[in-house]
Amino acid sequence: MTDAADLRRRTAALLAAHPPAGTDRLDFLRARFDAGLAWVHFPEGLGGLSAPRSLQSVVDAELTAAGAPDNDPGRIGIGLGMAAPTILRFGSEEQRRRWLRPLWTGEEVWCQLFSEPGAGSDLAALATRAVRDEQHASHPGEAGGDWIVDGQKVWTSSAHLARWAILIARTDPAVPKHRGISYFVCDMTDAGVEVRPLRQITGEAEFNEVFLTGVRIPDAHRLGEVGEGWKVAQTTLMNERVAIGGARIPREGGMIGVAAEDWRARPELRTHDLHQRLLTLWVEAEVARLTGERLRQQMSPTAGSGRAGAAPAPQPGPEGSGMKLAFARLAQQISGWEVEFLAEDGLAYDDWTMRRPDGVDFTGREAGYRYLRAKGNSIEGGTSEVLLNIVAERVLGLPPEPRTDKDVAWKDLPR
């Protein structure tokens, strides 16, 4: 099995063959992927070496010290954290080789077409329809024909940048809502895809609404079996919550690091009460960071090859929902503390303009921006209320809430 010493040797070889100072950024990233150093726990040939996930930090540290470029993870977070693990688990070999490399290098940005105006917290109630056209295929010679998709999606981060989208749509309205969904990859440049900005409390339009009108999706762009899209979507959602709430950061990193810097830089604003609250938040942030690290270590050590008979790729469990809950609560409490500590300076926010950002920057903007943007943390990636139910039922083993619609056909549900 690949160990830390082997990874250091491989990284050194990559740097020797492609010196960062003299190599085009994209060429370096492609070479890193091909060397298996993109995500080391992925299979060989798909950006990894089937190594323990925890060893990724060894590669990252060596490359950072050498001044190597990264793949701008803030811009392609949906692809990295949600699309990639889903494609790895449910995609064909052809799909993996087509999509994973440009996804990781950032050549192709991804977005997530899940939530709808009438299906947010109750995502399985979605109404976007996908109807099969058996007679026509958008790619000549392709078996299975196309799917014609109509509907509306909302709260879609990066849709204005994306080439591809992971999409769930209803393919059978005559069965209960969880059983009539299929999972697709949608080309955002296709005819019938319309992206409109949604302006947020921060003034910018990081989110979008997406209208799908007669969009043709080849059957070859389906992940998983027809009608089993909810099973595939669970992989996406569980990985999304870990990506949001369990990202690897250094000690005193993230928003708590900014708050601590403010405290050290502004002694004239200090009070005993604010000090005690900051200490509590610092401890809770460190507990959350270490818990996230432990969660990553508890996952299966390798991703498996995905070949027939091989073990499936490891998937985070409901513990990821707890991590995302903690992240949202801490982000809102820390940003609130910072605004209070900085007094009138904490209200300053001099860039309330309509723009379409590439991503979210929680640590490089003003305190006022962080305070406003953190309000969305308890909604995106699953509302805190839904995640509390998941933790209660699947972690603590408490009785589930009554669900009267479990065995009712979707078409018969009141809307």
The rounded distance, in Å, linking the Cα atoms of 33 and 226 is: 32
Whether 240 is catalytic is yes
**Which residues make Cβ contacts (< 8 Å) with residue 352, sequence separation at least 6?**
202, 203
Task: Tell me the CA distances in angstroms from 404 to 150, 176, 178, 353, 362, one per residue in order.
Answer: 28, 11, 13, 45, 40
Strand extents, DSSP E, 50-93: none
Q: What pLDDT score does 242 carry?
A: 72
The model carries a pTM of 0.88
Q: Is 225 left (phi over 0), alpha (psi -120 to 50) or beta?
A: beta
Residue 309: per-residue pLDDT: 38
CATH fold for domain 234-395:
Butyryl-CoA Dehydrogenase, subunit A; domain 3 (1.20.140)
Please provide the average confidence, as pLDDT, over all residues in the chain: 89
Sequence ranges of the domains in the chain: 4-70, 109-226, 234-395
Catalytic one of 206, 240, 338, 366: 240
pLDDT at 315: 66
Q: Which CATH fold would you assign to the domain 109-226?
A: Butyryl-CoA Dehydrogenase, subunit A; domain 2 (2.40.110)
**Rounded CA gap, 302 and 308, in Å?**
16
Q: Give Dmax over CA atoms of the chain in angstroms.
A: 74
φ, ψ of residue 404 to 5 degrees: the values are -85, -5
**Confidence (pLDDT) at 137:** 60
Sequence-distant (≥ 6) Cβ neighbours of residue 58 within 8 angstroms:
4, 7, 8, 11
Percent with pLDDT over 90 in the chain: 65
Fold equal for 109-226 and 234-395: no
Tell me what pLDDT residue 303 has.
38
CA-based nearest residue to 219, from 150, 162, 138: 138
Q: Which residues of the chain have pLDDT under 50?
A: 141, 300-313
